[in-house]
Structure formats: structure tokens, C-alpha cells
């Protein structure tokens, strides 16, 4: 069974979890990279990220095309921006149609609203089987080792 981890990470939290999954399952990885960088500190981070989500912007991605059809299991990871997934996923979901896959969802945040984010991701991923979802609160800053173990346990129980 071939697996893929797709993620966007602004500050490294989501990347941490993506790499744990990648290493544990020997998965391929697609890190969404935008042409224009988002600010990753201070008030501008929230302003630009929130604006991008609210206006459903589709930032240009630098990634090369990847054939989704060769994967059975896909893990999707995102920070939560204004209660939903990060704007680069607007572009990704517009360019790729994912169907008939097993999907694991993981989100990182500093203030919650994971249920709304998971619901929005599930709407975009209709026609797939959601096999699990997990959330993290700033996993690089809050008990990193505990979050690594949490991820390993989650993967084993899928």
C-alpha cells in the first residue's frame, strides 16, 4: 500500500508531524510551497493568513505535478488559519481531485477550532474514506517528544 503525505507548514509544526508520518510509513511527501511567502511572525502572520482564507485565495504553488492516482493512503496536514485549512490547500484542491482514497487528517494550531477545520477538509474530500484525524497545539513548543509519540500511536491505530 503506497502512501503520500501532503502538507503545508508556515512555522514548522505541521512539517514536524508530516516527517514523523513519512518516516514511520516510508511515505512519499508533497510539501505545498507558495510562490509568495506568507509572513510567519507577528501580527502580519495573522492578517495575511486570515485574509487569504476568508477571501478563499488560491496562491500560486511552486510544486511540480504529482500523480495522486498511484497512492492508496493520503495524509493531509495543515495549520489552522481563521478556523479552517491554510490557503495553499485552496489551490491544491482546485488542481487535484482526490477520490476513493483512505485519508488521514492532521492539523496544528495555537488556538483550537479543529472541528471546523476537519469539517471543511471533509467537504473537500468527499468520495474518500477518512481513516483518522488528529490535532496538535503548537507541537514544536509544547511537549515535542510527547507529540512525536502521540503521532506514532495514531499511525499504529489507523
Residues 49, 87 contacting (CB under 8 angstroms): yes
Cα–Cα nearest to 147, from 28, 1, 51, 13: 13
Q: What is the pLDDT along the chain (158 residues), one digit of tens a residue?
A: 899 999 999 999 999 999 999 999 999 999 999 998 886 777 666 656 666 878 899 999 999 999 999 999 999 999 999 999 999 999 999 999 999 999 999 999 998 789 999 999 999 999 999 999 999 999 999 999 999 999 999 999 99
- Domains, the chain, in order of start with CATH, read 3-156 (3.40.50.360)
CA pair distance 153, 67, nearest whole angstrom: 29
Burial of 60 (0-12, 13-18, 19+ CB in 10 A): exposed
| Secondary structure (3-state) at 23 | helix
Residue pair 84/116 in contact (Cβ under 8 Å)? The answer is yes
The enclosing H or E element of 52 equals helix 42-54
Amino acid at each position: 500500500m503506497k502512501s503520500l503525505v501532503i502538507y503545508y507548514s508556515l512555522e514548522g509544526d505541521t512539517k514536524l508531524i508530516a516527517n514523523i508520518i513519512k518516516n514511520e510509513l516510508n511515505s512519499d511527501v508533497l510539501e505545498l510551497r507558495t510562490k509568495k511567502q506568507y509572513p510567519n511572525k507577528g501580527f502580519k502572520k495573522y492578517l495575511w493568513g486570515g485574509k487569504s482564507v476568508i477571501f478563499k485565495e488560491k496562491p500560486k504553488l511552486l510544486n511540480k505535478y504529482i500523480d495522486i492516482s498511484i497512492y492508496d493512503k493520503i495524509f493531509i496536514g495543515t495549520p489552522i488559519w481563521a478556523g479552517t485549512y491554510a490557503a495553499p490547500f485552496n489551490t491544491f484542491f482546485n488542481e487535484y481531485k482526490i477520490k476513493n482514497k483512505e485519508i488521514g487528517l492532521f492539523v496544528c494550531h495555537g488556538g483550537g477550532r479543529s472541528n471546523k477545520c476537519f469539517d471543511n477538509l471533509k467537504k473537500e474530500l468527499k468520495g474518500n474514506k477518512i481513516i483518522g484525524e488528529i490535532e496538535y497545539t503548537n507541537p514544536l513548543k509544547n511537549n515535542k517528544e510527547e507529540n512525536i509519540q502521540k503521532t506514532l500511536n495514531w499511525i499504529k491505530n489507523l
